[in-house]
Amino acid sequence: MILPIVLEIRLARRSIKALSRHDRRLLICRMVDSLEGVIEVSGFRRRLTDPGGLERVIVSTENAISQIALAEDADFLAIIGEFETLLVKLSETLRLPLTSLHKQLH
> pLDDT-derived band of residue 102, with 50, 70 and 90 as boundaries?
very low
The tens digit of pLDDT for each residue in 72-92 reads 999 999 999 999 998 888 877
Quote the pTM value.
Answer: 0.80
Which are the contacts of 77, defined by CB distance < 8 A and separation ≥ 6? Answer: 13, 16
* Domain membership of residue 63 as a residue range: 4-105
Number of domains in the chain: 1
Q: Which comes out higher in pLDDT, residue 106 or 88?
A: 88
The tens digit of pLDDT for each residue in 17-37 reads 999 999 999 999 999 998 888
pLDDT at 101 over 90: no
Give helix 21-42 / helix 98-105 axis angle, nearest 10°: 120
Report d(CA 57, CA 34) in Å as an integer.
13
Report d(CA 7, CA 81) in Å as an integer.
12
> Which residue type is seen at 4?
P
